[in-house]
Amino acid sequence: MAPQYRLETLLEIRRRAEEAAKNEFAHAQKALAAARAELQRRLDDLERRKRERKAKVDAHLQELISKGMGALGVQGMGAYEKRLRAEEDEVAEQIEAQREVVAQAEAEVERKRAALAEAAKEVKAIEKHKEKFLKQKKAERDAREEQAGEEIGNALFLARRREK
């Protein structure tokens, strides 16, 4: 039977803490991935809007040129382009806000990584202590068994000697 390790409860607590740290780290990584995906979606949206604005303005200009430029048409096109640019600026602001969210998520991942490393270190320390404890107990048991074997051997030797 293995000897009872007095810090087994502490070892289990630390193992659960390490498992919780792993889960929190995984959650933080998922949040970071989601934040990065959202940032990329917004960047792609901004690029799409810029391409569409350019295409719409070019198409509108071609239409105005083919029909003959009117001051009202050019002015209307300018207002339309200004509105599209304002929408692009709004998306650009959202991108900057999302960049901040990504930076915070990256910092959170680093905090969780450090917490996980610390939890793993604490578990490792208790496991090493347990290994030393078990080695010591095994050495003590082996010494007792050896002592008992020697005593039995001496008793047999003395018993044979008396018989002679």
pLDDT at 74: 67
- Residue pair 125/17 in contact by the 8 Å Cβ criterion: no
Tell me the fold of 8-129. Helix Hairpins (1.10.287)
pLDDT band at 69 (very low <50, low <70, confident <90, very high): low
CB-CB contact of 130 with 11 (8 Å): yes
**Residue 70 has what pLDDT?**
65
Give the global pTM.
Answer: 0.72
More confident site: 155 or 33: 33
Query: 133: exposed, middle or buried (C-beta count within 10 Å: 0-12, 13-18, 19+)?
Result: middle
Segment 109-120 shows an average pLDDT of: 97
The first and second tokens of residue 71, run together, are 């001051």
Show the tokens assigned to 98.
């999302």
Radius of gyration for the alpha carbons in the chain, expressed in angstroms and rounded: 38
Q: Which has the closest alpha carbon to 26: 109, 115, 120?
A: 109
Residue type, 16: R
Arithmetic mean of pLDDT, 3-7 = 87
How many helices, marked H, and strands, marked E, lie in the chain?
2, 0
Q: 5 with 134: CB under 8 angstroms?
A: yes
